Amino acid sequence: MLQYLTGLSCNPGRQCRHVRIVLLFACAFLLMASNRIFICSAQSTPSSEAKGNLVLFDFGDANDKQIRDAAIARFNKRFPNVQVIDQFTPISSWGDYLDKLVTQVVSGKAPDLIHIATEGFELAVRRKLVIPLDELDSDPTGKALLTDVDPALVKGFTAEGKLYLVPVAWNNMMVYYNTKVFNQAGISRPSDDWTWDDFLQVAKRLTSGDGSAKRFGFGIPYFNFGLTPFWYSNDTSVLKNDLKESNLDDPKFLESLTFVHDLVRKNGVSPDPANTDPNAVFQLFASGKIAMTGGGHWPMQFFKANNFSDFDVVPWPKNKVQKTVFGADGWGISTKTKQKAIALEMLKELVSVESQQQAAGLGVAIPARRSVAESKEFLAQPEHAALFYDSLRSAAPVQAPANYAEVERILMRHLSQVMADEVNPEDALKAANEELSAAMQQEAAEDQ
């Protein structure tokens, strides 16, 4: 780009260094004089005549695919000679997704751009799957994006001071409640600082009927991310010491798990969460079979598909602290790509305002850009939609060590035994703690 500015080239040596110095001062002068941001680097935006192929390693559902197709179409208007293949991977769990990604990279078929969630970030950085995105610090589009994103989301994809993924969306856990059922039962909207006790009393009042006509007060979001706010709101977690050691021997974790177990087995306010489909609970909520459930913004797409609009949200109830969980997803550039400049342009399109506005309209996730989260389209539904983005003030990221997939499998296997009443919570956590401690020690040894 410097050659384009000057129309000159130079030979190695003192004269070349002199020209570089002059050009650097010239760039600095332009920056101060115009109060605008320009890219003073040797790498320019690729020509519209650029040719190549890009492969995206991606996840999501039909709505996500629709958003990605639109981004690719916009990209191809700028770069018509670049073929983009969206390698859309169905996802049953983050562990499975990460396993597929690592397997593909090891097999020599690494993609050019990688869509990763918080759960896979540590692994991606440790295995050098993605490159630092230093260019965004001097790119007008990049700086505008990062300024519009909450620092907590940017920090979540930063390691040792370097940004590796650009946040595009995120989700949290709130409590959804059926406004129609609440009104019929004469129950007011819970306060934003309600407690576990308040929650349980409301769930009991809303549980009624028998057999196929029974309505439960609450449906447990039975998956790792969905259960996490039960731990966080009791001031505990699965791991401790910078995610290096098991914390399942914490008495507060036993208290949390017992509370969840008793929602089904003792208090009878929640159906048995035996169905392994993580979205099944949202279908039950939309059909009126349960009056409350937990979820982020993504269930909105199911509600829209079922023409269900009698719902609103309230923060997760607290026990010892007011705290929920969040997890983000972002796009990074593979260390194996041979077309970094073109890949960067595709990344910008994937995280653009257009992509995030489309996602907000479809109810897929909470946009990373605050400006989009504050748009009338995003805030249209439910009534307290502003609580989604505001929840970052009392949220912590989902714990995601490099061996996240293994941690999740150990935890959920033992929790399933508890929920099935095969093992009591205390014995299950004792066994889980031993297994998880061994796994974390093995992970530490492999990291050395």
Under a CB-based contact definition with an 8 Å cutoff, are residues 89 and 119 in contact? no
| Residue 14 placed within a domain | no
For residue 44, name the pLDDT band (cuts at 50, 70, 90): low
Residues 386 and 405 reside in one and the same domain? no
Residues 312 and 182 reside in one and the same domain? yes
For 79-100, how does the pLDDT look when each residue is reduced to its tens digit (9 = 90+)?
999 999 999 887 777 667 878 8
Under a CB-based contact definition with an 8 Å cutoff, are residues 112 and 56 in contact? yes
| Residue 36 placed within a domain | no
Residues 291 and 427 reside in one and the same domain? yes
Token output for 353: 């305002």
Alpha carbon 414 to its chain centroid, in Å, reads 25
Degrees (nearest 5) of the Cα angle 381, 382, 384?
Answer: 120
Q: Which helix (H) or strand (E) holds 366?
A: strand 366-367
| Residue 7 placed within a domain | no
Residues 209 and 262 reside in one and the same domain? yes
| Residue 390 placed within a domain | yes
What's the pLDDT at 276?
Answer: 67
Q: Which domain holds residue 115?
A: 52-171+327-396
Query: d(Cα 311, Cα 299) in Å, to the nearest integer?
Result: 11
Alpha carbon 359 to its chain centroid, in Å, reads 13
For 151-160, how does the pLDDT look when each residue is reduced to its tens digit (9 = 90+)?
999 999 999 9
The residue that leads in pLDDT, 257 or 27, is 257
Under a CB-based contact definition with an 8 Å cutoff, are residues 330 and 145 in contact? no
| pLDDT at residue 33 tops 50 | no
For residue 171, name the pLDDT band (cuts at 50, 70, 90): very high
| pLDDT at residue 36 tops 60 | no
DSSP 168-203: EEEEE-EEEEEHHHHHHHT-PPPPTT-BHHHHHHHH
Residues 359 and 428 reside in one and the same domain? no
| pLDDT at residue 5 tops 60 | no
| Residue 11 placed within a domain | no
What's the pLDDT at 134?
Answer: 82
Record the pTM: 0.84
| Residue 58 placed within a domain | yes
Residues 298 and 408 reside in one and the same domain? yes
What's the pLDDT at 274?
Answer: 79
Query: d(Cα 108, Cα 89) in Å, to the nearest integer?
Result: 18
Residue that is last in its domain, among 396, 418, 437: 396
Degrees (nearest 5) of the Cα angle 51, 56, 61?
Answer: 140
Q: How many structural domains compose the chain?
A: 2
Residues 288 and 153 reside in one and the same domain? no
| pLDDT at residue 3 tops 80 | no
Categorise residue 428: left if φ over 0, alpha if ψ from -120 to 50, beta otherwise: alpha
| Residue 10 placed within a domain | no
Alpha carbon 94 to its chain centroid, in Å, reads 11
Residues 70 and 129 reside in one and the same domain? yes
| Residue 245 placed within a domain | yes
Q: What is the mean pLDDT of residues 103-127?
A: 91
What's the pLDDT at 12?
Answer: 36
Residue-averaged pLDDT of the chain: 88
Q: What is the mean pLDDT of residues 157-171?
A: 95
For residue 28, name the pLDDT band (cuts at 50, 70, 90): very low
Residues 314 and 217 reside in one and the same domain? yes
Query: d(Cα 369, Cα 389) in Å, to the nearest integer?
Result: 10
Backbone angles phi, psi at 173, to 5 degrees: -130, 120
Residues 273 and 361 reside in one and the same domain? no
User: Among residues 356, 293, 302, 289, which one has the least CA distance to residue 328?
Assistant: 356
Residue that is last in its domain, among 353, 379, 396: 396
